[in-house]
Structure 1
Amino acid sequence: MPAQSQKRVLVSDALSEAALRVFRERGVAVDFRPDLGKDRDALIREIGAYDGLAIRSATKVTPKVLAAAERLAVIGRAGIGVDNVDVAAATARGVIVMNTPHGNAITTAEHAVAMMFALARQIPQADASTQAGRWEKNRFLGVELTAKTLGVVGCGNIGAIVADRGIGLRMKVIAYDPFLSAERAVALGVEKVELEQLLARADVITLHVPLTDKTRNILSAEALARTKPGVRIVNCARGGLVDEAALRAALDSGQVAGAAFDVFVTEPALDNPLFGHPNVVCTPHLGASTAEAQENVALQVAEQMSAYLVDGAISNAINFPAISADEAPRLRPFVELSEKLGSFLGQLTEAPVTGIRVTYEGAVAEMNTRALTAAAVTGVLRPFLPDVNMVSAPAIAREHGIVIDEIKREGGHSTFESVVRITVDAQDMPRDAAGTVFHDGKPRVVEIRSIAVDAAFAPHMLYVRNHDKAGFIGRFGSVLGEAGVNVATFALGREREGGNAIAFVAVDGPVPEAVLADIAAIPQVKRVRAVRF
């Protein structure tokens, strides 16, 4: 999480003055350049000076843009869709991507309902005919929505609002959503069904899902053929959810009675298979286009970005777990502990890492441990990948086949209120260490290789594994003294008298390789390693 210091945000698309004031009031410097997002080359030249980038849909954040964004920590999209951001590339570079999923939910849902009415009563066609001087009252025979079955595909924020409005219209609402629980369905007053059932039963189908590999062409030619004859289809979500050519054929055959689309595969949609059909209503991606929604998402993205850059709070991030403003101060020392413990074990590990297991004991188990696990993974990987951070680390670990496990033990630890324990499984052997945060907020190591120690972290430290035999401390101190290496703190631990022992020593500067070799030559020493934090 970023430290307290003034940050700079670039606004490269249109954003309200009220949103700009939010940045300034939170102590964030903001440059408002609403035309910059349309000029990719200019954006690439300028982006390197900023910690945050606030955008709408005009700015395209490509891998080339991200490669030039050396300081960038967060991208805020004023709106729900992040199609114009390469989220995978941003994640790989450790950039948090936020959206504002709630700011335009009501507006988009209302537009879907309006399109449903326009479709049922042929309002656009009747308007055009009447204003052209033709009084064709008998031509525009509509259908009632009352008592019809509304099929909602995707019952998240927007879909749930549309479902609620449908219930208010006395429609029977059925919903297909793999993530919709039975309890949530009951609370919404909808019947949860499978997609096949929805296709067969719905008089009106409205789409409210993101565009992914699984949802692309969810209404394919085959799916459209299985719909109830005379169905009407509304899409105010994303272009590409419906096979547009197949839908045109279904409209021509009468299988589909009408379609209302606000989004298209290619936008701006200057030409489209649906255009010109008498039973089609089209609008130019107006779902979020109300004054209220535009202001809401602008204010929301400014609040979210400022909260992250100033306080470390994370909300509505596409690629990182949420951290509330209340959580951030409590998490910060445990984030530091987790990352330093992970870094310690990573610096000791030379063989390929196969797994990282993080165990939380006591009060820390009740915290937002996903963020702590991300910090631990970051620490383990950083000795091998210096540019890794908390955002990119989990994805990089998955790419390398490293299994991440998280275990919570809320019962507590016998000695400490909270303990974070990290085990790194490598191809040669596992390595483990545990630590805690004292009341002063400073992280400490309390256990290495199951041997109790008590050591604060320092920039330069020596880790020594040795036999617990007389003479070691004297010889060790003599080697350091003769080399002019000053000892700051000296922590010792042993498993039993005469058994394995560990020394974890803070020194005032880097220790030369020749001195490490002299320490390794002490008879009692099994291994010595210089580590840095």
Structure 2
Amino acid sequence: MIRILANDGIDPVGKHMLEQAGFTVDTENIPQEQLPEALKSYDAITVRSATKVRKELIDACPNLRLIGRGGVGMDNIDVEYAKSKGLAVVNTPAASSPSVAELVFAHLFTGIRFLHDSNRKMPVDGGAKFNALKKAYAAGIELKGKKIGIIGFGRIGRETAKIALGLGMEVLAYDLYDVPAQLELALAGGVTVNVPVKKVEFNELITEADFISLHIPFLDKPILGAEEFRRMKTGIGIVNCSRGGTIDEDALIAALDSGVVAFAGLDVFENEPTPREDLLKHPKISLTPHIGAATNEAQERIGVELASLIIDHFKESEK
């Protein structure tokens, strides 16, 4: 019988699918340092972003046949090394896209109306300084008619673009690969409409955009640093719901302090799970603890997709 350790959990629907297919699924979290010994009794492990599956762990568990990532990015897995050892490595790139895209706009709406700062100060000063706070937060702006630059136009970038287009924003898309000329928006009542997207070069995006949203994998160096911030419009808003390390955090704080960047929305951080204190306490940053895919709907889709991939793999390997 195939034994699977879902070390970072799996949605009950996905777990039920695996069990119905004859697999044993354990969901008890095993600390990272205990995994080399514990995994010797499993055929597969599934993880999210917390558990790391590095070369040393792979070497310690030659019995492993599959590594599954519930989510998109696989920077916590030594993918190529695992494959070189004959392991299957699977992930669920489509399942979380709508949830991450909605979080981007949660941060955008928060930033343009100062909700991140207002929610901190109203409990403390709302009673005594109501009118002063009202004046402080009276210069909000609207998203409609503004340009959003989307860096990385894969599944999540396109879902983000669809929301932007629905709000009446102009989308500037940058990607190393093809960008579609238009996207199909699915509206209520089964109505669909095709809306154009503008593909741009990187320099045009960072100089023309009113807002920037990142949707790229982990890089060897940040894609947005001091030089890029110097070329942006004053008052730009930046949202990162992709990966920590894609923005130079020192340069971001400097740009926020200078006023070049009006606000930032961060769901990911370079030093997870211990982000730097000056980011966490900055009055111009809206913060969430890496929860882009953390909706009930996304987790069910992830569980179902991951279970299907695992079932298909082991069925195929038994032929």
After TM superposition, the score normalised by the length of structure 2 is 0.89
Q: How does 1:27-106 map to 2 (within 5 A)?
A: 27-28=22-23, 30-36=24-30, 38-40=31-33, 42-106=34-98
Whole-angstrom distance in 1 between the partners of 2:122 and 2:310: 49
Structure number with the higher helix fraction is: 2
Runs of 4+ in 1 over 6 A off after TM superposition: none
2:291 to 272, 286, 291: 286
Q: Secondary structure at the match of 2:136?
A: coil
Whole-angstrom distance in 1 between the partners of 2:17 and 2:298: 17
Whole-angstrom distance in 2 between the partners of 1:113 and 1:229: 20
**Cα distance, 1:188 vs structure 2:** 5.7
**Matched-pair contact (CA < 8 Å) for 1:245–1:273:** no
Name the residue aligned to 1:155: 153
2:200 to 193, 197, 205: 193
Whole-angstrom distance in 1 between the partners of 2:180 and 2:303: 34
Name the residue aligned to 1:228: 233
Cα distance change on mapping 1:24 and 1:145 into 2, 3 Å: same
**Matched-pair contact (CA < 8 Å) for 1:13–1:56:** yes
**Cα distance, 1:301 vs structure 2:** 1.0
**Cα distance, 1:286 vs structure 2:** 1.5
1:170 to 165, 168, 171: 168
Cα distance change on mapping 1:240 and 1:39 into 2, 3 Å: closer
Of stretches 178-187 and 105-114 in structure 1, the one that deviates more from structure 2 is: 178-187
Cα distance change on mapping 1:221 and 1:77 into 2, 3 Å: same
Whole-angstrom distance in 2 between the partners of 1:243 and 1:168: 31
**Matched-pair contact (CA < 8 Å) for 1:262–1:287:** yes
Name the residue aligned to 1:253: 258
**Cα distance, 1:116 vs structure 2:** 0.6
Whole-angstrom distance in 2 between the partners of 1:49 and 1:188: 52
Structure number with the higher strand fraction is: 1
2:135 to 113, 135, 138: 138
Whole-angstrom distance in 2 between the partners of 1:164 and 1:39: 38
**Cα distance, 1:288 vs structure 2:** 1.1
In the alignment of these two chains, the number of paired residues is 304
Larger Rg: 1
Q: Secondary structure at the match of 1:151?
A: strand
Cα distance change on mapping 1:32 and 1:181 into 2, 3 Å: same
Name the residue aligned to 2:217: 210
**Cα distance, 1:180 vs structure 2:** 2.3
Name the residue aligned to 2:177: 179
1:107 is aligned to 2:105: no
Name the residue aligned to 2:121: 129
**What residue identity is the alignment partner of 2:206?**
L
**Cα distance, 1:23 vs structure 2:** 1.1
For structure 2, the residue ranges without an aligned partner over 5 or more in a row are: 185-193
Whole-angstrom distance in 2 between the partners of 1:185 and 1:167: 9
Name the residue aligned to 1:504: none
Q: How does 1:492-507 map to 2 (within 5 A)?
A: none
**Pairwise CA RMSD of aligned residues?**
2.0
**Matched-pair contact (CA < 8 Å) for 2:153–2:179:** no
Cα deviation 1:127-177 (Å, max 9, x = unaligned): 233232231211102111111111111111111011111111111111111
Whole-angstrom distance in 2 between the partners of 1:105 and 1:149: 21
